[in-house]
Amino acid sequence: MSEESERLSHDYAILSQKLLQLAPQAGLYESLIPGLSFARRDDPERRENVLFPPCVGIVVQGSKQAIIGTRELDYRRGQYVLCCVDMPSAFIVSGSSEEPYLTVSFRLDFPLLAEIFRELDSQNLENGMVLHDLEADAGRSAGAGADEEGVLDDETADADFIAGEFAGEDVLGEGAVQSGCAFEDEAGAVEYGECGKEDQCGLDDPLFHGSVECAMRVCEITPELLNAFLRLIYLLDKDQDEVRNIAPLIVREIHYYLATGPNGRLLRTFLMTRTQSWQIVRAIAHMRRHCSERLPIESLARLVHMAESTFNRNFKRVTTLSPLQYHKHLKLFEARRLMKQKGMNAATACAAVGYESQQQFTREYKRLFGCPPMRDTRRNQHQ
């Protein structure tokens, strides 16, 4: 066994023991450290539909399969999943009472990532290094039509969000998802930062035109990233002063490893204001804020300065879903939240999210969640 494998095996064993102490029974646990959550599942096989937020998640024990549109992602101990936008997904987790499924995750802090990228670029410039593969970028840029770029200026940039910042107060808010995995937040919609200014959360580099790729992927974990998560979990036993002073350092370390790792370029594409991926993030933010409204494809495409065909193609590359499918999922997840958190009945929730036909709402809800609305609500109350 190599030194790296030994380090991973050692830290996984300790992390498993710690999570079993922190999660004595099956469930999703939100820690006192903002953004850090973990979960335990004892079921041999459990399928759940969730709204997967931008995060990095590690399977500590057991295995998991994510079904995103028509794409399937399998990951296990030794791997981590990175998600760059909110992804409606289905998950199948495998565990047992003797060896529970254990997972830990942290929500991505996009302003922090942008800050780290700026510092890295500044250091590279000082060292005389070439920041990007100009030939590759030029080739990608040449293949994109003028309608696909849509560089934002101060007048067209939406001040309510940047790099995916959502300003809606209740849209997919508290308890937007009900799930056993550690990648959903019962407390509400994803927080991308509070600044609301492009120069703080977005990056601008005229030489960077990253290609449009799926926003979720699985990678092999490194000893450094796993150890950072282990140290963050261990902080939960410390006093508040230590947590307040040390946790931000470890959180920054986690984001640094992501920014400098194999997925650094992917993360850049969702932060660079000149990329098509960032434009899709703008569309997703708009869809979340207006999930109960009718949103014609042409208006969404116009919002992000793309032709309809280009917008449809790029949106599906990022989310694996068409804009119509994605918007429908947002409506159904919001209806689920309203019934669970606000005590609404199916008819009221149906109207609240913009459905005109309760029959259509019930049919599509059952197709997504596996049973009719009120039965699903009762089932969730007993989990």
Q: Cα-flanking dihedrals φ and ψ of residue 210, to 5°?
A: -55, 145
Q: How far apart are CA 161 and CA 164, in angstroms?
A: 6
Q: How many residues does the chain have?
A: 383
Query: In whole angstroms, what is the distance from residue 243 CA to residue 33 CA?
Result: 8
Distance, CA of 165 to CA of 128 (rounded, Å): 33
Give the model's confidence band at 19: pLDDT under 50 very low, under 70 low, under 90 confident, else very high.
very high
Instruction: Yes or no: say if 93 and 70 are a contact pair by the CB < 8 Å rule.
Output: no
For the cut 60, the answer to whether the pLDDT of residue 157 exceeds it is no
The answer on pLDDT for 113 being more than 60 is: yes
Residue 122: its pLDDT value, please? 87
Asked whether 210 and 275 are in contact (CB, 8 A), the reply is yes
Q: What are phi and psi of 303, to 5 degrees?
A: -60, -40
Q: Which residue has the higher pLDDT, 128 or 57?
A: 57
pLDDT at 199 over 90: no
Which pLDDT value is given to residue 34? 95
The 3-state DSSP class for residue 303 equals helix
What is the C-alpha separation between 178 and 377, in angstroms, rounded? 10
Query: Quick one: pLDDT at residue 315?
Result: 96
pLDDT mean over 67-85 = 88
Q: What is the share, in percent, of the chain residues with pLDDT greater than 90?
A: 59
The token pair that represents 64 in the structure block: 């998991």
| Beta bridge pairs of residue 57 | 81, 105
Give the burial string for 192-223 (b: 16+ CB within 10 Å, else e): bbeeeebeebbbebeebbbbbebbbbbbebbb
Stronger pLDDT, 190 or 239, i.e. the higher one: 239
Q: What pLDDT, on a 0 to 100 scale, did the predictor assign at position 210?
A: 60
If we measure between CA atoms, which residue out of 61, 88, 89 comes closest to residue 75?
61
Looking at residue 208, its pLDDT comes to 53
Residue-averaged pLDDT of the chain: 80
**How many Å apart are CA 62 and CA 50, to the nearest integer?**
19
- As a whole number of angstroms, the distance between CA 317 and CA 306 comes to 15
The answer, as to whether pTM is greater than 0.75, is yes
**What phi, psi does 119 have (nearest 5°)?**
-65, -40
- Averaged pLDDT, 268-296: 92
Q: What pLDDT, on the 0 to 100 scale, is given for residue 190? A: 33
DSSP state for residue 191 in the 8-state scheme: P
Q: What is the mean pLDDT of residues 185-201?
A: 36
pLDDT digits (tens, 9 = 90+) for 238-263: 999 999 999 999 999 999 999 999 99
Local structure of residue 190 (DSSP, 8 states):
P
- Tracing tokens 């019962």 back to the chain, one arrives at 186
> Where does 151-263 have alpha helices with state H?
198-201, 223-234, 240-260
Domains of the chain plus CATH, in order, are 3-108+212-264 (2.60.120.10)
Q: Is 71 left (phi over 0), alpha (psi -120 to 50) or beta?
A: beta
Share of the chain residues as helix, strand and coil, in percent rounded to the nearest 5: 45, 15, 40
Residue with tokens 């008819």: 347
**Tell me, what's the pLDDT at 321?**
93
Greatest Cα pair distance in the chain: 63
Quickly state the pLDDT bin for 195 (edges 50, 70, 90). Answer: very low
Backbone angles phi, psi at 369, to 5 degrees: -100, -5
pLDDT at position 203 is 58
Q: What is the pLDDT of residue 200?
A: 43
How far is the C-alpha of 266 from the C-alpha of 66, rounded, in Å?
Answer: 19
Residues 145 and 149: their CA atoms lie apart, in Å, by: 7
User: What is the CA angle 300-301-306, rounded to 5?
Assistant: 155
Q: What is the pLDDT of residues 161-184, one digit of tens each?
A: 333 333 333 333 333 332 222 222
Residue 240 CB coordination number (10 Å): 8
CB-based contact 364:350 (threshold 8 Å): no
Which of 47-51, 113-117, 183-187, 340-344 is predicted most confidently?
113-117
The predicted pLDDT at position 359 comes to 95
